[in-house]
Structure 1
């Protein structure tokens, strides 16, 4: 009888521990009324001091996670499991997520500061009337080089990236849209081309660029370029600004053929647990 009693007590203790653990887990994902905001963002996109200031001013705790590509972010949100209150996809991904019913339609009454954003950044084709997104950062894609080894004239067009002298020299930002855009631009086609033949030609040309690729990475480009472990890269303007501030030999070029203008935007994913915190 004593053994049975001990067994029952042990089972009850285990159940209590599991319930407490489940409660704490629910709180960490924004459930059970906890004042927590779960944010999913690009790396280096919010100053940690700003998060601390937000937490002190609002009483919310911020759980902050980062991703290194739109596709990785999309997959994780689509699969569910983690409930994010805020995410920051780029323009084409906003459109995809909207079409796939992964976003909450915004209540503009809860966004009074929207009026301070320039009209030229609002009502873009990927999200008419900003029904699902608020613009956060924008910039360009370009080429960054070290003047100890190269000149601006060496990289003033996308087509020059195919120069054999760059064999195993170029670091590329990990972005599917950006990469195919390089191929399209180098052929004189529109960055926004949806012509199957043109896209196929761009793909075939990009395959011939692979010998010149040192790596396809994300945030690591900054470290390699600043430390001069690499001297040529294709990256975003925001990343380039940070690099230029840390190494006087680095320079940023927008190729003559033109480049894509990107917008990263704040959205509320479907499944968000803390809408009030998100707004």
Structure 2
């Protein structure tokens, strides 16, 4: 402002010098008052935030730390499947501010397209800059221009085994080159049923990997493909012990030695079994034909009553320290490029968490189903699960 006044005064003096000498120089006009920028609107929301997330998916103490720092009381509930979250969102009046849908099964793309989430106010999320552009490019297929979804974690649906028990059950039969054979091929399932085979109790996940296994599009919209996948699954139905919604406990507790599960859950089960004194080797596998990639993301619901508080939590989670804490504790990779240096070395060395670039090329990226295909999928899964 001083520079402006000096310049203005200098201009007046110069103009006066060009006029008649006997004329007194005009007094400089008073500078017009500069309007101040409007103040940022105060956050008048009550100090409450309601979050709906997957179980076993947040580091212990993170919610309490956020509450202590901000004074915002967090009500934190969990759901077991994308299907359960979808039912809540479609019914409306969810009561939640932040939900964490997944791209698996095409759910978050469908929810974005249906207008179930508020557009993000990125000026309220300065730590958005920490996000990895490569992950955001993949997520943009579900959320064009990255307007609604903020990555929580990512991973893949794959085969997990208790190697100690599997090798014992297989006897002289070696592990197959393609890990999917362990859970889909009778030659293997007939042997592994003795130590337990578990499938995620999630229709879209199981039908998608079954379609992939028989060489079809994992997100097929062809009804005939579902009949073929159901026929394949029917051959191993008698060997399946569990349809699990508590996969971590089921693996760590010895209820299953071979599973179709999420990579991070399998890694958590390995850590939990070790903590409990087990010497068994539990691991997620990298099937030779690839696995199903998914990204779970935070979204602010359309009916959120505390969107500003939600933005505060999202920005808190996008701190490098927060994202690294999640990966270290939960065994899932994050989408935060600033966090990698803070992740424990034994985690970064795990190739089912920090996947090599060559294998990433085998991952099946997320897509979506038509309404007709989703109906065919649900019918096929229910028939398979009931053994019909």
TM-score normalised to structure 2 length: 0.60
For residue 254 of structure 1, what is the aligned residue in structure 2?
A: 286
Say which is worse superposed, 204-213 or 154-163, in terms of deviation.
154-163
User: SS of 1:121's equivalent?
Assistant: helix
Contact 1:69/1:175, CA 8 A, preserved across alignment? yes
1:62 aligns with 2:89: no
* Candidates 187, 200, 211, aligned match of 1:173: 200
Bigger proportion of residues as strand: 1
Tell me by how many angstroms 1:154 deviates.
4.7
For residue 181 of structure 2, what is the aligned residue in structure 1?
A: 159
For residue 309 of structure 2, what is the aligned residue in structure 1?
A: 277
Tell me by how many angstroms 1:200 deviates.
2.9
Tell me by how many angstroms 1:241 deviates.
1.1
Gaps of 5+ in 1: 1-31
* Candidates 131, 138, 142, aligned match of 1:117: 131
Say which is worse superposed, 42-51 or 165-174, in terms of deviation.
165-174
Give the Cα–Cα distance (whole angstroms) in 1 for the partners of residues 295 and 45 of structure 2.
33
Matches for 1:23-172 after TM superposition, within 5 Å: 33-91=45-103, 92-123=106-137, 124-151=140-167, 153-154=175-176, 156-161=178-183, 162-163=185-186, 164-167=190-193, 169-172=196-199
Give the Cα–Cα distance (whole angstroms) in 1 for the partners of residues 255 and 99 of structure 2.
32
Cα deviation code 1:72-107 (max 9, x no counterpart)? 011112223432110000012211112222111112
Give the Cα–Cα distance (whole angstroms) in 2 for the partners of residues 154 and 223 of structure 1.
26
Give the Cα–Cα distance (whole angstroms) in 2 for the partners of residues 105 and 207 of structure 1.
43
Distance 1:109 1:33, change over 3 A: closer
Cα deviation code 1:122-160 (max 9, x no counterpart)? 133111111110111001112121223224715833234
Tell me by how many angstroms 1:185 deviates.
2.0
Matches for 1:218-233 after TM superposition, within 5 Å: 218=245, 220-233=246-259
Gaps of 5+ in 2: 1-43, 168-173, 274-279, 312-388
Give aligned pairs, total: 247
Cα RMSD of the aligned pairs, angstroms, is: 2.0
Give the Cα–Cα distance (whole angstroms) in 1 for the partners of residues 91 and 177 of structure 2.
40
